[in-house]
Chains A and B, each alone.
Chain A
Amino acid sequence: MTTPIQINANESKTVAAHIAAGLDDLVGAPTLRSDSLARFSASGLPNRRVEAWKYTQLNTLAKTPFHPVIHAPKAKTIPAFDKSFLPDDIAALLVFVDGHLREDLCDLSNMAVSGLALTTLGAALNTDSQKLESHISAGAGIADSLMDLNAAFMTDGAVITLGDGIIVEKPIVIVSHASTPGAAVHMRNVITLGHGAQASIIEINGPAIGESFTNTVSDITLGKNASLIHGRIQNEAALAIHLNRAKVALEERAEYSSFAFASGAALSRQETDVAFNGSGGTARLYGITLGRDGQHIDHTTRVHHGQPDCATEELFKSVLDDHAHGVFQGRIHVAPYAIGTDARQKTQTLLLSGRAVADAKPELEILADDVQCAHGATVGDLDRDALFYMAARGIPPKQARDLLIAGFIEDAIDRFGAINANAATLSTLLRRHFQHWRDTLGDKDNG
């Protein structure tokens, strides 16, 4: 197979490494892969001149060569995964290492739901790649070029399909580790819920070893009245680069509730694209950033209100210490005929250090009358009145700060947990990951 190469691979060591690897050894979807690579080649990696990537630069990808892991690495031990990082009760656990399924680490023993089809992208590419291809969304231009890079080099992921009316009460958990230093991991998840179906899917990107580059894309389609709780928990190792994109399409009255948690990686960007394709849908997009040292953590959302009477609720909270850099970009587009739209966006940042930086870019484009849209962005230090109130009760300053930071984050986790039982389960898990972050923060202070 000929790989069309038009870009100057010298510009980026990672791009060069991908081009050198080629597509020939990748299984399934040859046309999709080569078309995607052709689009990627035409646009290249996003740079700072691309508006959507203005605040987040991918220089490390240019300087360090990350190689696609085309063949499953020989079984090796992965970093010890603390069981408390998983929900207590799960419907299914899928574990991927370097973008390849590790059957020996999966747990499908509780999967007794009829109407739930759970397979892997690797398997689907082998057997029925044409059917799969219809669910894989293509990028449109340079801002999306990483989606194309993913589609060209995707190796594995979860393919979850719920039939009409199927309700899975416990979460389906997708764990992804990078275990080879220098690995470029392209996971692709395809999630489809039929009419009235309900599920909770939690992606956990656990501690990687050394420098790695994860580029995960999830294509999510929710049928009429379907409801999905989608958790993305990112606590990767300090040198990791983590990119994650959820592309979500909602039919009439469907509900998508997402919580993106980021505490790890040197560079992290979790993107959520929502398109309302039917009226009466609801999107709840929540996220937290816990940044310290020189971490760069980005939450980017784009919501397209293309139909009437849909609601969007966004709440993103960041705690930034040391010289961490937090980015929030929230675009809400309301089409001329999307009357009755109710969109609310709120982002709040706590700067714990004078060197930490926060960029917040709300973008509301409203072309319809009779809509309610609101956004608010605050950046600040801990509330002095609250600190005084705590001190006046005998709580020492360090403990007071810790309680206030916890309260700031807890507020978002709490609100999300109130959505439904599945969200409450995810909230419990988020609290544990947050507690873990607080504990390691204490280690740092003492050490």
Chain B
Amino acid sequence: MSELLEIHGLHATIDGKEILKGLDLILPAGEVHAIMGPNGAGKSTLSYLLSGREGYTATSGEILFKGQNLLDMDTHERAQAGVFLAFQYPVEIPGVANSIFLKAAVNAQRQARGETPLDAMEFLKRARVSLKALDMDDSFLTRPINVGFSGGEKKRNEIFQMQMLAPALAILDETDSGLDIDALKLVARGVNDMRDAGRGMLVITHYQRLLDHIVPDRIHVLANGRIEKSGGKELALELEASGYGEITSANQSVA
């Protein structure tokens, strides 16, 4: 029986430059893992490889999601299978109302699972529950996607979408960046509400700060294109004290 997410020996390039150099990671269902690491270590590359962004190519290794080979699937198929990426920089799309976008997404996913689409009333009912929990008012639904949203609003919008789509695997890419402490707490609460025995989450972050609010089951340090160190939640404090330098240089001396 395979775990929710298994990454084996992943090598990946962007524009011919190798960014990931043999990355291994296991995320069992029901757990939250944090991925930390210095700038340029390949954290965002990993999130884009998981979601299937154009231009990010896996040269060897595999990514198994519920036993399926994720790299063989298109981006929208991965999302329909239950992979969700909360963007570091959510995209602004003028002219398309949040509700139209999200309803299309929810129903595309329901359709792919053979479920009946939600009608407008049912969608609105569910949306309001999430909006309220995230301290967002109904106007978020009619506003064009992320246009004119503050940094905090954009990140809350990502979490709102995650709640509506209820993915099996959620990847949160630097969800804490640009948030003040109140917004951070709201977002963290939104994420914690989603913790579930059937769901796995990968929380990508620079700082230990977010992990005070979203307490991970395990922490992995991504440096030099692979997971250099893994440990329990106490690893975050260690890193906060010593920085990434030790891990990065330790590896280089071995190489």
Contact = CB atoms under 8 A, between A and B. Distances in A.
A407 B75 contact: no
A347 to B, nearest CB: 15
For this complex, into which size category does the number of interface residues on chain A fall? Answer: 20 to 34
A394 B95 contact: no
B117 to A, nearest CB: 13
Contact of B93 (A386, A394, A397, A409): A386
A368 B54 CA distance: 49
B92 to A, nearest CB: 8
B95 A393 contact: no
Nearest to B104: A395
Given A393-B165, A394-B112, A403 B76 contact: no
Given A389-B87, A392-B79, A397-B76, A407 B105 contact: no
A100 B85 CA distance: 60
Interface in B47-105: 51-54, 74-76, 79-80, 84-85, 87, 90-91, 93-96, 100-102, 104-105
A392 B75 contact: yes
A411 B148 CA distance: 14
Q: Is the interface of A mostly helix, strand, loop or mixed?
A: helix
Contacts of B79: 391-395
A384 B54 contact: yes
A386 B53 CA distance: 12
A407 B93 contact: yes
B91 A386 contact: yes
B96 A406 contact: yes
A385 interface: yes
A394 B109 contact: yes
A410 B80 contact: no
B45 interface: no
B105 A394 contact: yes
B54 A407 contact: no
Nearest to B53: A388
A399 B51 CA distance: 18
A132 interface: no
B95 A391 contact: no
A389 B95 contact: no
Interface string A77-119: 0000000000000000000000000000000000000000000
Given A403-B104, A404-B96, A389 B91 contact: yes
A396 interface: yes
A408 interface: yes
A393 B105 contact: yes
Given A389-B87, A403-B101, A407-B144, A395 B95 contact: no
A392 B101 CA distance: 12
B41 to A, nearest CB: 22
| A386, A389, A394: residue with the most chain B Cβ atoms closer than 10 Å | A394
A388 B52 CA distance: 9
| A390, A399, A406: residue with the most chain B Cβ atoms closer than 10 Å | A390
B224 interface: no
| B91, B95, B165: residue with the most chain A Cβ atoms closer than 10 Å | B95
A133 interface: no
A414 interface: yes
Contacts of A388: 53-54, 75, 91
Contact of B76 (A383, A385, A391): A391
B53 A404 contact: no
Nearest to B109: A394
B56 to A, nearest CB: 11
Interface in B104-142: 104-105, 108-109, 112
B205 interface: no
Contacts of B101: 390, 393, 395, 403
A399 B161 CA distance: 18
Given A393-B105, A393-B161, A396-B108, A385 B75 contact: no
A410 B95 contact: yes
Interface in B1-50: none
A395 B108 CA distance: 6
B14 to A, nearest CB: 15
Contacts of B145: 389
A408 B87 contact: no
Given A393-B165, A394-B79, A403-B100, A409 B112 contact: no
Interface in B211-241: none
B8 to A, nearest CB: 23
A410 B161 CA distance: 22
B93 A414 contact: no
A69 B96 CA distance: 45
Given A403-B101, A410-B96, A394 B165 contact: yes
Contacts of A397: 74, 76
A406 B145 CA distance: 13
Contacts of B84: 392-393
B74 A399 contact: no
A394 B80 contact: yes
Interface in A119-144: none
Contacts of A386: 91, 93
B94 A407 contact: yes
Interface in A379-431: 383-386, 388-397, 399-400, 403-404, 406-411, 414
Given A394-B112, A396-B76, A389 B93 contact: yes
Contacts of B94: 407-408, 411
B96 A391 contact: no
Contacts of B144: 407, 411
A409 B108 contact: no
21 contacts: A384-B54, A385-B91, A386-B93, A388-B75, A389-B93, A390-B101, A392-B52, A392-B79, A392-B84, A392-B85, A393-B102, A393-B105, A393-B161, A393-B165, A394-B108, A395-B105, A395-B108, A404-B93, A404-B96, A407-B144, A414-B95
Given A395-B76, A395-B101, 11 more contacts: A389-B93, A390-B76, A390-B101, A391-B52, A391-B75, A392-B84, A393-B105, A404-B96, A407-B144, A409-B95, A410-B96
10 closest pairs, A vs B, by CB?
Answer: A407-B95, A411-B95, A407-B96, A394-B79, A391-B75, A393-B105, A410-B95, A389-B91, A394-B109, A391-B76
Interface of B: 51-54, 74-76, 79-80, 84-85, 87, 90-91, 93-96, 100-102, 104-105, 108-109, 112, 144-145, 161, 165
